[in-house]
Amino acid sequence: MQDNFRGQFINGQFITYSDQTEFSSFNPARDGQIVTVAGESLSAVDDAVDCARSAASGWRRAGLDARISALRAVQEMVPAHVESIADAITAEMGKTRSEALVEARSIAGKIDGVIKQLSSELPSAHIGAPGEQRFHALGVVGIIGPFNFPIHLLNTHVIPTLLTGNTVVIKPSDVTPLCGQRYAELFMDAGFPPGVMNVIHGGGRAGAALVEHPGTDGLVFTGSYATGRRIRRATFDMPHKKISLELGGKNPAVVLDDADLDQAVREILLGALLTTGQRCTATSRVIVTPGLADALRHRLKAAFTRVRPGDPMDSETFMGPLANGAAKDRFFQLLSEAKEQGADVLVDAESLDGGAWVTPGLYEVRGDEPFLNEELFGPHIAFECALDADDAFRRAANTPYGLSASLFSASEDALETFYDRVRVGVVNFNRSTNGASGLLPFGGIGMSGNWRPAGSCAPRLSTYPVAFMKASFGEVTPNSNLEGMLAESN
């Protein structure tokens, strides 16, 4: 049964626009089944930004305590909305029910986490400084979300942006409009102040309109490098606008001879296959030194042969489908290119009928294949054999991305060398490339993005620092040379 699309969420209410262009979301586990028919309106983008602009000053000047109180009201409503939010996540992008519930519940935890971070991330001036150090809200911030974490990767930006005194205009992925609607319903039911949080829907046209809108002071985008690059170009002559990009990853796991094999296998499988490989932090490359190469290859081949996708609504399912047919087509196109470039198929991914279903793939590579610079965004590992630890680190560093990387070893010295040579935003030791913490910085370098729009740095990125200095009323600054010249003129 289709869910009813309620319209754009602007100024605290849902509005349907007469000029909207309809688009649909589909259930990837139910071949072609429509989840909802949503609408895109460029007029809505203008209205949402205008409402956010009108609400901005009042929201900022209401003070931190008032903003915390408003978000606590949202937090209290989360349990009543968890089921409907999780249902939308599973229906629109195929995430397993267990993962979807975790994502829905994380809304409440993020509010607690950011409140705790504010004092350390937005510190007062050092003792003895001749004034205050303040952090001013940017103003109106646009937030464009992805399909793979359609709630979490909105919420992780929305909460710090709101708490620091900004208003927001959110555009969810056009793959997951119902998820965006459910998020708006949560805020509406909590009685959130009108105009402070707005949600508009659509695809590339609506996204471009929000990016280029002169009324926004900041933009947070999560998605591909190609789209992030277009955003940078489009906003080059908008120096007032802070652009924060959270882009992709091509994340290596390096396994040295002294690694614990059981641990490495388990963490690699979780890194590569959770969310069907559709995480920016997913493990997509495994680089192993000679002492464990044969054993690790054997173990991964056996596991990849056994893991199969299943009904995402089944609580026992480990891996669901890809998010849609386009993601499936792209996945197999890139695998075809990998084979043409000489990759050796250890376990080939299969296309299954009935939806965006795929099985995991494991290819052995030399390390110089061009497809290794592409984010497949599916359940796949490129397996590389290195000559030694030095060669393994060189291979891991040889990528234009720089989001997450893992090292499996017993050696802390090896970890420090890994840290020096492999430039990434998240270093993992004997753990998966997945599972980042919101209490630590999160983001990458190179083609993985700029700044650190998620994680602990988010409050600072939604503000600009201000030196705030005062003099007593009527007090003048003494300057004997100036006073002498003024006396002569008199």
Distance of CA 334 to the CA centre of its chain: 23
- Do 239 and 332 share a domain, yes or no? no
Give residue 390's Cα distance to chain centre. 32
- One domain for residues 233 and 153: yes
Domain contains 435: no
Report how many domains make up the chain.
2
pLDDT tens profile 48-70: 999 999 999 999 999 999 999 99
What pLDDT, on the 0 to 100 scale, is given for residue 3? 86
Q: What is the pLDDT of residues 97-152, one digit of tens each?
A: 999 999 999 999 999 999 999 999 999 999 999 999 999 999 999 999 999 999 99
CA-to-CA distance for 339 and 43, rounded, in angstroms? Answer: 46
What are the φ and ψ backbone dihedral angles of 179, each rounded to 5 degrees?
Answer: -60, -45
Beta bridge partners of 385: 288
- Residue 250 corresponds to which tokens in the numbers above? 């091509």
Tokens representing residue 263 in the block: 């641990």
Q: Are 166 and 140 in contact (CB under 8 A)?
A: yes
Indicate if 193 and 260 belong to the same structural domain: no
| Residue 297 and residue 234 share a domain | no
Residue 451's pLDDT band, with cuts at 50, 70 and 90, is confident
CATH of the domain at 156: 3.40.605.10
Cβ distance 96 to 320 under 8 Å?
yes
User: In this structure, which amino acid lies at residue 135?
Assistant: F
Give the residues across from 288 on adjacent strands: 255, 385
pTM over 0.85: yes
pLDDT digits (tens, 9 = 90+) for 12-45: 999 999 999 999 999 999 987 999 999 999 999 9
Same structural domain for residues 241 and 265? no
The whole-angstrom separation of Cα 146 and Cα 175 is: 8
Domain membership of residue 154 (yes or no) is: yes
Q: Where are the beta strands (DSSP E) in 290-434?
A: 344-347, 351-352, 357-358, 361-364, 380-385, 404-408, 426-429
Residues annotated as catalytic are 246, 280
Same domain, residue pair 136 and 233? yes
Provide DSSP, 338-366: HHHTTPEEEE---EETTTTEE--EEEE--
pLDDT band at 193 (very low <50, low <70, confident <90, very high): very high
pLDDT exceeds cutoff 80 at 5: yes
Q: Is residue 156 part of a domain?
A: yes
User: Does residue 448 fall inside a structural domain?
Assistant: no
Judged by DSSP in three states, 114 sits in helix
* Pair 161, 91 in one domain: yes
CATH number, domain containing residue 339: 3.40.309.10
Over its C-alpha atoms, the chain yields an Rg (Å, rounded) of 25
Asked whether residue 179 carries a pLDDT value surpassing 80, the answer given is yes
Amino acid in the structure at residue 429: F
Digit-coded pLDDT (tens) for 465-485: 999 999 999 999 999 999 999
DSSP, collapsed to helix, strand or coil, labels residue 98 as: helix
Same domain assignment for residues 72 and 91: yes
Per-residue buried b or exposed e for 44-82, using 16+ beta carbons within 10 Å of the residue's own CB? bbebbbbbbbebbeebbeeeeeebbebbeebbebbeebb
| pLDDT attached to residue 53 | 98
State the Cα–Cα distance between residues 37 and 236, nearest whole angstrom: 35
pLDDT for residue 454: 86
Please give the pLDDT value at position 218: 97
- The whole-angstrom separation of Cα 92 and Cα 318 is 17
| DSSP annotation string for 31-90 | TTEEEEEEEE-HHHHHHHHHHHHHHHHHHHHT-HHHHHHHHHHHHHHHHHHHHHHHHHHH
What confidence tens digit (pLDDT) does each residue in 360-394 have? Answer: 999 999 999 999 999 999 999 999 999 999 999 99
Tens of pLDDT, residue by residue over 290-342, are 999 999 999 999 999 999 999 999 999 999 999 999 999 999 999 999 999 99
Residue 44 φ/ψ region, left for φ over 0, alpha for ψ in the -120 to 50 degree band, beta for the rest: alpha
Average pLDDT over residues 168-185: 98
Secondary structure (3-state) at 330 = helix
Question: How many alpha carbons fall within 13 Å on the CB side of residue 31?
Answer: 6
What single letter denotes the amino acid at residue 218? G
Q: Letter for the amino acid at 445?
A: I
Tell me: the pLDDT tens digits for 387-428? 999 999 999 999 999 999 999 999 999 999 999 999 999 999
Domain span holding position 398: 251-429
Burial of 472 (0-12, 13-18, 19+ CB in 10 A): exposed
Q: For 141-193, give the DSSP string.
A: EEEE--SSSTTHHHHHHHHHHHHTT-EEEEE--TT-HHHHHHHHHHHHHTTPP
- Which helix (DSSP H) or strand (DSSP E) does residue 222 occupy? strand 218-222
| pLDDT bracket for residue 490 (50, 70, 90) | low
Q: Is residue 197 part of a domain?
A: yes
**SS3 label, residue 201:** coil
Task: Indicate the burial class of 471 (C-beta count within 10 angstroms; 0-12, 13-18, 19 or more).
Answer: exposed
Cα angle for residues 40, 325, 228 (degrees, 5° grid) = 55
- Beta-bridge partner residues of 467: 133
Does the residue 442 lie in any domain? no
- Shared domain for 31 and 159, answered yes or no, is yes
Question: Within a domain: residue 452?
Answer: no
In a domain, 317, yes or no: yes
207 and 278 share a domain?
no
Q: Specify whether 289 is located in the same domain as 418.
A: yes
Return all residues near 102 (Cβ < 8 A) that are at least 6 apart.
Answer: none
Alpha-carbon distances, residue 457 vs 196, 422, 440 (angstroms): 22, 21, 8
Per-residue pLDDT at 1: 62
* pLDDT tens, position by position, 235-276: 999 999 999 999 999 999 999 999 999 999 999 999 999 999
In percent, the amount of the chain with pLDDT more than 90 equals: 96
Quick check: 189 pLDDT over 90?
yes
Same domain, 127 and 239: yes
Quote the CA–CA distance of 209 and 226 in Å, as a whole number. 17
Q: Is the dihedral of CA 233, 235, 238, 240 positive or negative?
A: negative
- Rounded Cα distance between 2 and 4, Å, is 6
Q: How far apart are CA 146 and CA 100, in angstroms?
A: 15
